[in-house]
């Protein structure tokens, strides 16, 4: 029996929320270990749509859910998300949700700084296309050792000095960027006004997880974003500000690396990306429009249209390596139903040479040209299939070809947004 880490193997939005929700039936605890409310995870249960950004997808089933120390936590966004879920019939209580006491907070000044930088960069054509949620600035302050953390909400005697320290840094930045300074009282009020709504959830999460692990509980780690958005392994600088890869599941929850068992890479049957940055197989044409329309490819958090393109086996093969992916959950195969032919990128050409990896440099990433293999499409439908035998032969061929190219097997196959339209090939918890 293994604990399972779910990670995105592309640029995010692979269907992690759906798969975590499905798997959470078999889990005892679900843990978010990085990112923040830049994530947008969609679950569809009997036609009812839940969109989660900060909370682990396990909350919808009422599973013990944990916000780990690797997350950056916006307390006001949490309160809003909990209220939204309550209106949908999902009650978040301190019995169900625990927030690690050592988690760094996202404050309004982080969100503002994110926006100031993106606005300034838009004018010079160098923006990242962030979600503007303050994720990058909050991680900067964490690493810069000046963050306000969740536990600080309980220590009103030491909080003012921490806020002063933070403001010394931020007000210097804001002056430099030509924006008004933030007052100490503003941030104190922002924190004090929300403290009572957060503190009941705050706990010594590493201890809870250690006890659970010793008791043989099944732990499901829910990644956000995707491997190509990882701060080290991704398409830097067009990435998010955290490690999104599987190794972070241990660090970001306060467990040892031995707690990571099976690594499940959530993989879309084609490729999408939101925001700026290289995208070798992007189809800025009717194929991209078809994929976007059929796949409803609009961002959950910002509503932005997602860029769409063919499946890129080079990227996913690399994701298999850097995460130690044991198997993938292949999602959205149904979006390809009815296409006459389907292209798959099997390698790149860079400056006249064939390569089988994504180079690390920004310039080279922008220059690589995809090399495609063209496969015949299928006439029947995979949408809503719940058994392998229901799949058209040509669709099975596509799946098998992908497995071969990326060097990992399909453990789960998803054929619609609905929770139960999922085919189990190998149970990651049993593998």
Catalytic residues, by residue number, are 13, 41, 142
Q: Out of 148, 153, 229, 246, which residue is the one contacting ligand IMO (CB under 6 A)?
A: 229
Q: Which of residues 10-69 bind ligand IMO (CB under 6 A)?
A: 11-13, 38-41
The structure tokens 């860079």 sit at 350
Q: Out of 7, 15, 105, 411, which residue is the one contacting ligand GDP (CB under 6 A)?
A: 15
Q: Give min distance, CB of 175 to ligand GDP, in A.
A: 37
The reply to whether 40 sits in an annotated binding site is yes
Binding-site size, ligand GDP (CB under 6 A): 23
Q: Which of residues 33-92 bind Mg ion (CB under 5 A)?
A: 40
Q: Where does residue 84 fall: left (phi above 0), alpha (psi -120 to 50 degrees), or beta otherwise? A: alpha
- Do the Cβ atoms of 184 and 163 come closer than 8 Å? yes
- Do the Cβ atoms of 270 and 291 come closer than 8 Å? yes
Q: Which of residues 249-308 bind ligand IMO (CB under 6 A)?
A: 274-275, 300
The reply to whether 379 sits in an annotated binding site is no
User: Which contiguous run of DSSP H or E holds residue 422?
Assistant: strand 422-424
The reply to whether 12 sits in an annotated binding site is yes
Q: Out of 110, 111, 133, 170, which residue is the one contacting ligand IMO (CB under 6 A)?
A: 133
Choice between 147 and 229, CB closer to ligand GDP: 229
Q: Out of 9, 11, 18, 227, which residue is the one contacting ligand GDP (CB under 6 A)?
A: 18
Does 234 bind Mg ion (CB under 5 A)? Our answer is: no
Whole-number CA gyration radius for the chain: 22
d(CA 405, CA 400): 9
User: What secondary structure does DSSP assign to 155-218, as a single string?
Assistant: -TTTHHHHHHHHHHHHHHHHHHHT-PPPPHHHHHHHHHHHHHHHGGGEE-HHHHHHHHHHTT--
What the block records as the tokens of 344 is: 């798959």
The reply to whether 361 sits in an annotated binding site is no
32 binds, among Mg ion, ligand GDP, ligand IMO, none (CB under 5 to 8 A by kind): none
165-168-173-177 Cα dihedral, nearest 10 degrees: 140
Q: Where does residue 4 fall: left (phi above 0), alpha (psi -120 to 50 degrees), or beta otherwise? A: beta
Contact string 314-343 vs ligand GDP (x = CB under 6 A): -----------------xx-xx--------
d(CA 252, CA 249): 5
Q: Single out the residue of 241, 277, 403, 399 nearest to residue 332, CA to CA.
A: 399
Choice between 53 and 153, CB closer to ligand IMO: 53
Q: Which one-letter DSSP state was computed for residue 295? A: T
Cα–Cα–Cα angle for 46, 51, 55, rounded to 5 degrees: 115
Binding-site residues for GTP, in ranges, read 12-18, 40-42, 306, 332-334, 414-416
**Residue numbers of the site for ligand IMO (CB under 6 A)?**
8, 11-13, 38-41, 128-131, 133, 135-136, 224-226, 229, 240-241, 274-275, 300
Residue ranges for the binding site? Answer: 12-18, 38-42, 131, 145, 225, 240, 300-306, 332-334, 414-416
Annotated binding site for Mg(2+): 13, 40
Q: Which residues bind ligand GDP (CB under 6 A)?
A: 8, 12-18, 40-42, 44, 266, 296, 300, 331-332, 334-335, 414-417
């Amino acid at each position: 029996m293994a604990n399972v880490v779910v990670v995105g193997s592309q640029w995010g939005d692979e269907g992690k929320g759906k798969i975590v929700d499905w798997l959470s039936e078999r889990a005892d605890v679900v843990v978010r270990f990085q990112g923040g409310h830049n994530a947008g995870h969609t679950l569809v249960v009997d036609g009812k749509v839940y969109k989660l950004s900060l909370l682990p997808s396990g909350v919808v089933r009422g599973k013990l859910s944990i916000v780990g120390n690797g997350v950056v936590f916006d307390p006001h966004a949490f309160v809003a998300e909990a209220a939204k879920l309550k209106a949908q019939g999902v009650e978040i209580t301190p019995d169900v949700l625990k927030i690690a006491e050592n988690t760094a907070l996202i404050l309004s000044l982080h969100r503002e700084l994110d926006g100031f930088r993106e606005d300034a960069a838009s004018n010079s054509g160098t923006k990242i296309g962030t979600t503007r949620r303050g994720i990058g600035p909050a991680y900067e302050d964490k690493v810069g050792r000046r963050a306000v953390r969740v536990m600080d909400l309980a220590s009103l005697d030491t909080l003012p000095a921490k806020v002063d320290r933070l403001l010394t840094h931020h007000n210097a930045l804001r002056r430099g960027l030509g924006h008004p300074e933030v007052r100490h009282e503003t941030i104190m009020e922002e924190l004090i006004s929300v403290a009572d709504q957060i503190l009941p959830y705050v706990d010594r999460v590493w201890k809870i997880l250690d006890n659970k692990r010793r008791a043989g509980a099944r732990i499901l780690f829910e990644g956000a974003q995707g491997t190509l958005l990882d701060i080290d392994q991704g398409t830097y600088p067009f990435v998010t500000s955290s490690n999104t890869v599987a190794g972070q599941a241990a660090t970001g929850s306060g467990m040892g690396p031995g707690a990571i068992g099976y690594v499940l890479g959530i993989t879309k049957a084609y490729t999408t990306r939101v925001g700026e940055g290289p995208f070798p197989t992007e189809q800025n044409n009717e194929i991209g429009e078809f994929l976007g329309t059929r796949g409803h490819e609009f961002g959950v958090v910002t509503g932005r249209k997602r860029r769409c393109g063919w499946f890129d086996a080079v990227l996913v093969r690399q994701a298999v390596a850097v995460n130690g992916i044991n198997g993938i959950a292949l999602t959205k195969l149904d979006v390809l139903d009815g296409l006459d032919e389907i292209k798959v990128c099997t390698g790149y050409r860079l400056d006249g040479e064939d390569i089988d990896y994504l180079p690390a440099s920004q310039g080279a990433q922008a220059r690589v040209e995809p090399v495609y293999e063209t496969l015949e499409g299928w006439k029947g439908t995979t949408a809503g299939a719940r058994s392998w035998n229901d799949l058209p032969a040509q669709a099975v061929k596509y799946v098998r070809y992908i497995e071969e190219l990326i060097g990992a097997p399909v453990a789960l196959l998803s054929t619609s947004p609905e929770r139960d339209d999922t085919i189990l090939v190998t149970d990651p918890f049993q593998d």
